[in-house]
Amino acid sequence: MSFLRACLLALLLPLLAAPALAQTAEFDALVTSLPEGSYGERGAVVGAIALTGDPRAEAVLTALLDGTLGVIEATGQVVTLTPAPADALTGAAVEGPAAKIRVNNGLRRDIRAALGILTLADPDPAKRLAAADAAFRAPDAAQYDLLDAAFAREENPAVKSRLAEARAVAILAGDFSDADKREAIDIIADRGDADAQRILTPFAASADLEIAQAATAALTAIQQSRMLWGYAQNIWYGLSLGSVLLLAAIGLAITFGVMGVINMAHGELVMLGAYTTYAVQEAIRQNAPGLFDWSLLIAAPLAFLVAGAVGVAIERGIVRHLYGRALETLLATWGVSLILQQSVRSIFGPNNREVGNPSWMSGSFDVGQMTVTWNRLWILLFALAVFAVLLFVMKRTAVGLQMRAVTQNRPMAASMGIRTNWVDALTFGLGAGIAGLAGVALSQIDNVSPNLGQSYIVDSFMVVVFGGAGNIWGTLAGAFSLGIVNKFLEPYAGAVLAKIIVLVAIILFIQKRPRGLFAVKGRAVEG
């Protein structure tokens, strides 16, 4: 009997790419032969079933794995036992006593591998890619034929290259010529990631000198490429953190740097922006769920207006009376920050509020070996856009000109007919409004809670002080350099220690440049 089955298999395997009719017949024959033979032989049949690509294969194999595939002893008909006995090939109901087809652990492993391979024939390229990945991670020489066949058949280039890698892994695991193995090592080395490193490491100690050399060389190359990608990932994380710092600090750079006012309520203005986003999303959820993807675009101008209005109110109500007394503004605005915090806590409650990501901000994509999340990317772009607009407003518009004039020489500006009071309120409002915009962005990556502002205020001040007050380019440089330095320190020192080191470094840096990286003279910064 087993001789017959072997012949059958030998006949059938080359038929893989044959027309559908032949495929169906082949599948039927294979399934019918399932109850017979040793476990090892049945393992081979299972693999062959998977490779037929027949749409019924998955159901049959899953049933076999679950122990719900049986055979009617009298006729040899293979049946599924649940929910009611039915022919495994046609699905027609059957009668009669059926015996379960037994599986052991070895066979179960074969079935699982076969199920993994099964998707290699799936019409969806993403599923084929996942199957190739699975085969790559679990090297098995037995899968070589299956992978090779799938590789020959594959047309999608991305899947094909992944299949080549999986096939190479199978070659390394199996009994192949040295030349084949060296070629396989090259293919895996090109992949250059942690998986490739894990797979190649044992071969560096191979008894075969040539293979060991090839593997060692490949490992060195992988290490270098991983190091470079590691740097790239760190720089990306750093840029991402920097963009958050930039958003949080840039409004401060205007009020502190340009006006010389220490606004301790700045963090709370950021928080107001985040809560505005929350409120807008709630309104949209209740009234127009279809607009959800637009919620951030709607929230941004509103957050700017809300925070800006509060900013103007703070300036007119308090800060106006304290110009030239920087330390007193610090105290008074700290009071404002406490009041804003408690107001938000009283209105929205002390707990974190859920702010959803629109679809275009969720998910991630890979660049080489690094992962880029969409929300971080958008926040980076948003921060740069805000920076560009601010730069434009300051340098190219009449309002910006007046702001700079008042900053540099208030009495002169006043005698030229500039309404300095009005400009002060506007400048403060602009800084506050940008804080609100920062809140919109932060709501996407951080908890929206009454403490949101507190967690950024010290960092923001550090950025402004480091970059140099009164210069928004300094803020840009400060934010990104602090972000990147932080992320490069983290792997060695841990997140908290990295932050401490950066703080200490800034304290030391101020020794050398008490006015920051890009020092510009501003009004009343002396304090």
Question: By the criterion CB under 8 A, which residues form the site for other proteins?
Answer: 256, 262, 264, 318, 321-322, 326-332, 334-339, 341-343, 345-346, 454, 458, 461-462, 465, 496-497, 499-500, 503-504, 506-508, 510-512, 514, 525-527
What whole-number distance in Å separates Cα of residue 79 and Cα of residue 90?
9
Q: Tokens 């090592």, residue?
A: 185
* CB closer to other proteins out of 240 and 263: 263
What whole-number distance in Å separates Cα of residue 523 and Cα of residue 527?
9
Q: Phi, psi at residue 418, to the nearest 5°?
A: -80, 135
* CB closer to other proteins out of 85 and 483: 483
Q: Tokens 């510009």, residue?
A: 520
What is the gyration radius of the CA atoms in the chain, in angstroms? 33
What is the smallest separation between the CB atom of 474 and other proteins, expressed in angstroms? Answer: 14
What whole-number distance in Å separates Cα of residue 127 and Cα of residue 107?
24
Which residues make Cβ contacts (< 8 Å) with residue 54, sequence separation at least 6? 23, 24, 27
Q: Phi, psi at residue 281, to the nearest 5°?
A: -65, -40
Q: Phi, psi at residue 81, to the nearest 5°?
A: -90, -25
* CB closer to other proteins out of 52 and 337: 337
What is the smallest separation between the CB atom of 248 and other proteins, expressed in angstroms? Answer: 15
> Could you write out the three-class secondary structure of 272-302?
HHHHHHHHHHHHHHHHCHHHHHHHHHHHHHH
Q: Phi, psi at residue 131, to the nearest 5°?
A: -65, -40
DSSP type of residue 102:
P
CA angle 453, 454, 455 (to 5 degrees): 90
What whole-number distance in Å separates Cα of residue 450 and Cα of residue 347?
10
What is the smallest separation between the CB atom of 505 and other proteins, expressed in angstroms? Answer: 10
Question: 209-252 vs 454-467: helix axis angle to the nearest 10?
Answer: 90
DSSP type of residue 250:
H
What whole-number distance in Å separates Cα of residue 423 and Cα of residue 406?
8
| DSSP, residue by residue, 42-82 | HHHHHHHHHHHT-TTHHHHHHHHHHT-EEEETTTTEEEE-S
Q: Tokens 């199920």, residue?
A: 115
What is the smallest separation between the CB atom of 292 and other proteins, expressed in angstroms? Answer: 33
* CB closer to other proteins out of 116 and 468: 468
What whole-number distance in Å separates Cα of residue 236 and Cα of residue 396?
31
What is the smallest separation between the CB atom of 495 and other proteins, expressed in angstroms? Answer: 9
What whole-number distance in Å separates Cα of residue 48 and Cα of residue 67?
19
